[in-house]
Amino acid sequence: MKTILLVSTMSIALVLALAGGYDWGLHSSHQNHPTNNAASPHKILYWYDPMMPAQHFNHPGKSPFMPSMDLVPQYAVPLDQAAAAPSLRIDPRIEQNLGMRTAVVHVGSLSSELLVTGTLDWDQNHAVVISARTDGILTHLFVRTPYEQVRAGQPLGTLLSPSWSSAAAELNALNAATSGDAPTLRAAALARMHVLGMTTADIRQLTTNPSSGVTLRSPINGVVSTLNVLPGQRVAAGTTLMRIDNPHQLWLNAAIPQAEVASMHAGTIANISIDALPGKTWTGTIAAMLPEIDPRTRTQTARIVLTNADNQLAPGMFATIRLYPAGGRPFPLVPDNALISTGTDNRVILDLGHGQLEPRAVRIGHSADGYTEILAGLNGGERVVISGEFLFDSEAEMNGALDRLTKPMKPMKPMKPMKPRILFWYDPMAPSRHYSHGGPSPLMPSMNLVPRYDHAASPETVTSGEQP
């Protein structure tokens, strides 16, 4: 609560300082201008108090809100100046007291860094599925547990197929035939064995020993990530027996927020850290942006190819990814502390030189490294105010002051003279005796008590003869 009160007090004090500087500038600018229409080349629309500019008066004089301050005339804007942007003049002494600092708006591209999360998975481009090419019985299984490492050519199991064994026995019988049709029959039997899905190695093995079955071997070095069968199980043609994955190359599926997808593309560099392995980092690149948005998280998956030469990484691990998208289209860039956010729009204060300031509405883009893209409102080369003390916008006073600079003020009806405050009532024959209410005089009932008004009231509202 103390912090909030302190910020509020500082903000109000700065608004008063700005108003004082504004008032000083107005007094300085009007010292050489008369306050009547005849002598001034510009028409006076109304008079106002610089501390209460919304209240208009149709005559000069002292301010009813601050009797020590004169009302200031508001002149009509000449036609040749009607299109000029509204601005505020700050006295150099006030500017120095506020510690106002400025910066030049330059055009460039932000080198941003995006921090996202992801999960490791097997690289399916290197996965191999071992399936049954015919109906049979798995008589032997040499890999008994999932995630067992295997080498290329290593036996995985033996499949005994009655159809393959009978085809091999038929080929052996034809090999012993000596008739004239024997060569044609042997060629037909061999073709039938290939159609059944037997390789040359399988045919050689079965013709040597038809009852031995076919040995299934691993085509690659890897890990048996899936094992779906047991020894002695009967399987049908096409049944998946096991799956073998390559552990030396993995996929990292990163969740990219939908708002950041446009800056991501294949080849974007990614630095990866794993919570389970603190102090170590890996480098990869985005291989592809998957063309699908998760409806629950509104994120798109970026597939990153990651080398796992030392086998320290495993599928399912949670990773933190730092992505470095290349700079996109250049925009005017302003420091973050130059922006004033009102909740409905964003603005900056332009320094036009010679104490002239102008608020400018802007449309902002991405932010990074202390700068924000300006999509509309600035062209680059302008000078903006970046003083944090000057840009307090938490108080309605500062927000209202900016609105008055950017929005034309609606004409208001002349303000009626304020009724002066009555201090007390008295009898003119005994003015030293004061009464708190009006009515007949207790000293002379035929005479009414007279009100005594506050001297600070507007003089034209107090009639002569009412004061003792």
First to last CA, the chain: 51
SS3 category, 328: coil
Three-state SS string over 182-217 comes to HHHHHHHHHHHHHHCCCCHHHHHHHHHCCCCCEEEE
Strands of the sheet with 72-75, listed across from one edge: 52-57, 44-49, 72-75
Count other C-beta atoms under 10 Å from residue 370's C-beta: 9
> Up-side HSE of residue 94: CA atoms within 13 Å toward CB?
22
Count other C-beta atoms under 10 Å from residue 95's C-beta: 18
What residues have CB less than 8 Å from 251, skipping those under 6 apart? Answer: 120, 121, 122, 123, 124, 303, 304, 305, 306
Gap between the Cα atoms of 278 and 270, Å rounded = 17
Confidence of residue 24 (pLDDT cuts 50, 70, 90): very low
Q: What is the mean pLDDT of residues 290-315?
A: 88
Gap between the Cα atoms of 407 and 56, Å rounded = 17
Quote the strand ranges of 32-135, DSSP E: 44-49, 52-57, 72-75, 88-89, 102-104, 106-108, 114-122, 128-131
Flag whether pLDDT at 156 surpasses 50. yes
Pair of tokens at residue 342: 């009102």
- Residue 467: what residue type? Q
Q: What is the pLDDT of residues 443-461, one digit of tens each?
A: 888 888 888 877 554 444 4
Flag whether pLDDT at 41 surpasses 60. no
| Torsional sign, CA 140, 144, 146, 147 | negative
Strands 422-427 and 383-385, sheet pairing = unpaired
> Up-side HSE of residue 103: CA atoms within 13 Å toward CB?
16
Prediction pTM value:
0.49
With contact defined as beta carbons under 8 Å apart, do 305 and 123 qualify? yes
Gap between the Cα atoms of 372 and 374, Å rounded = 6
With contact defined as beta carbons under 8 Å apart, do 65 and 349 qualify? no
Flag whether pLDDT at 287 surpasses 60. yes
Structure confidence at residue 63 (pLDDT): 84
The total number of residues written for the chain in this structure: 468
- CA dihedral (41, 45, 51, 53) in degrees, to 10, reads -140
SS3 category, 3: helix
| Torsional sign, CA 403, 404, 406, 407 | positive
Confidence of residue 251 (pLDDT cuts 50, 70, 90): very high
Pair of tokens at residue 430: 């005994």
Q: What is the mean pLDDT of residues 362-373?
A: 80
Gap between the Cα atoms of 341 and 249, Å rounded = 48
Confidence of residue 362 (pLDDT cuts 50, 70, 90): confident
Under the phi-then-psi rule, with left for phi > 0, alpha for psi from -120 to 50, and beta for the rest, what region is 282?
Answer: beta
With contact defined as beta carbons under 8 Å apart, do 255 and 272 qualify? no
- The mean-pLDDT minimum among 24-28, 167-171, 328-332, 352-356 falls in 24-28
Structure confidence at residue 456 (pLDDT): 53
Q: What is the pLDDT of residues 84-127, one digit of tens each?
A: 445 555 556 555 555 677 888 888 777 667 888 999 999 888 89
Gap between the Cα atoms of 247 and 121, Å rounded = 10
Q: Mean pLDDT in the chain?
A: 75
- Residue 363: what residue type? R
Confidence of residue 241 (pLDDT cuts 50, 70, 90): very high
Class of domain 125-244: mainly beta
SS3 category, 295: coil
Strands 128-131 and 149-150, sheet pairing = unpaired
Q: What is the pLDDT of residues 306-359, one digit of tens each?
A: 888 888 888 999 999 988 776 567 788 888 888 887 667 788 888 777 767 778
Class of domain 101-109+329-386: mainly beta
Three-state SS string over 238-255 comes to CCEEEEEECCCEEEEEEE
With contact defined as beta carbons under 8 Å apart, do 207 and 171 qualify? yes
Q: What is the mean pLDDT of residues 12-32?
A: 41
Q: What are the sequence ranges of the domains in the chain?
A: 2-97, 101-109+329-386, 125-244, 422-461
Structure confidence at residue 95 (pLDDT): 56
Q: Which residue has the higher pLDDT, 80 or 258?
A: 258
**Burial letters 268-283, b for 16+ CB under 10 A, else e:** bebebebeeeeeeebe
Facing residues of 435 across strands?
425
- The mean-pLDDT minimum among 28-42, 244-258, 432-446 falls in 28-42
**Of all helices (H) and strands (E), which one includes residue 394?**
none
| Torsional sign, CA 146, 147, 149, 152 | positive
